[in-house]
Amino acid sequence: MKLATYRDGTADGCLHIVSRDLRRAVPASGIAASLIDALQRWDAVRPALAALYDRLNDGTEALAAAFDPARCAAPLPRSPQWLDGSAFLNHGDLMQKAFNQSPIPQFETVPVMYQGASDDFLGPHDDVPLPSEADGIDFEGEFGVVVGPVPMAATPEQAAAALRLVVQINDWSLRTLGAHEVRTGFGFLQAKPSTAFAPVAVTPDELGEAWRDHRVQMPLHIDWNGARFGEPHGGQMNFSFADLVAHGARTRRLSAGTIVGSGTVSNRERSAGSACIAERRVIEIIDQGAPTTGFMAFGDRVRMQAKFEDGRDGPFGVIDQRVVKAG
């Protein structure tokens, strides 16, 4: 099942079901007002949503119209929590190597994760207002999951049972601020402005064979100002989404609608490129002694789209955003 949220002036937007081929959509507001409402009553509303999805795909749904990603907010315009891991250890290894950082303790056995703002997410085509180019504006291509209720101290198996939806994410980052915040030990705050999402959230079955081991087994194609920047593969996650959700729930309950992210997709193979500028820069530092690629300027665009391994377009739609001066 594929789900999207059209803006309607409310904080949570209007839930829509999107056809398998991403061409048609129909309001689902007769079943659940919003995606967060649906997630809070998932077992009760899922059959009706699935029936609507079937009618949409069959061409028998009278209210179907063309799917318009430009009308989309993030699938969840706000959510109870947004917890972002860093599950591709190749990325962290490169960062440590370039900056001669002391290794993160238990880096290979305990995920690292920060809590981000979850009250003001960006839609897939929203401009990204930021105060200063000097902050080191960067994108981060990621995958994520949306969960149902997860009890405190859930096992990875319990966490796996709570996985509801898979999403594609651009975790906007400000590297100059982040370099400072990492050194404080308090973690990322100013370094993480509003996060953006591809228009379509999908149930894991939509991924078919590309959902294995609680990982998204797809390359994420990333273009910066129209030039290919990377297409790293999501399968190289060192922790699965079940592991990450269990980590997040260790000492707290997760409310339905909590989003847990993979961290920037990163592959050992240099040919895959990178999902963020910071990683390209650390590779330049390692290879050449200094970075040659700058961060983003106002007016720059980034486009992100997951693809199946056979080259077909992925199920999430496209993130395509422009950075602009705030205020």
Told to check if 188 binds a second copy by CB under 8 A, we report yes
Closest contact distance (angstroms) between CB of 182 and a second copy is 4
Told to check if 9 binds a second copy by CB under 8 A, we report no
Q: Are 53 and 232 in contact (CB under 8 A)?
A: no
Q: Which is nearer to a second copy, 250 or 268 (CB)?
A: 250
For tokens 């240099």, the residue is 270
- Which of the residues 156 through 185 are near a second copy (CB under 8 A)? 174, 177, 180-185
- Which of the residues 99 through 118 are near a second copy (CB under 8 A)? 104-107, 110, 112-118
Closest contact distance (angstroms) between CB of 7 and a second copy is 17
Count, residues in the chain:
327
Structure tokens at 153: 């101290």
CA distance 183 to 200: 36
Determine the interface stretch with a second copy among 51-59, 151-159, 199-207, 225-233 (rule: CB under 8 A). 151-159
Beta strands in the chain (DSSP E): 2-6, 14-18, 24-27, 65-66, 82-85, 113-116, 128-130, 137-138, 141-147, 163-170, 173-174, 196-197, 201-202, 211-212, 215-216, 220-224, 227-230, 259-261, 301-306, 319-325
Choice from 5, 90, 168, 194 touching a second copy (CB under 8 A): 194
Where do the H-state alpha helices sit in 41-139?
Answer: 42-58, 89-99
Told to check if 297 binds a second copy by CB under 8 A, we report no
Choice from 45, 189, 285, 324 touching a second copy (CB under 8 A): 189
Told to check if 59 binds a second copy by CB under 8 A, we report no
Told to check if 253 binds a second copy by CB under 8 A, we report yes
Q: Which is nearer to a second copy, 154 or 163 (CB)?
A: 154
Sign for the CA dihedral angle at 269, 272, 276, 279 comes to positive
Residues that bind a second copy (CB under 8 A): 78, 80-81, 83, 86, 104-107, 110, 112-120, 129-131, 135, 151-153, 174, 177, 180-194, 247-248, 250-253, 255, 258, 326-327
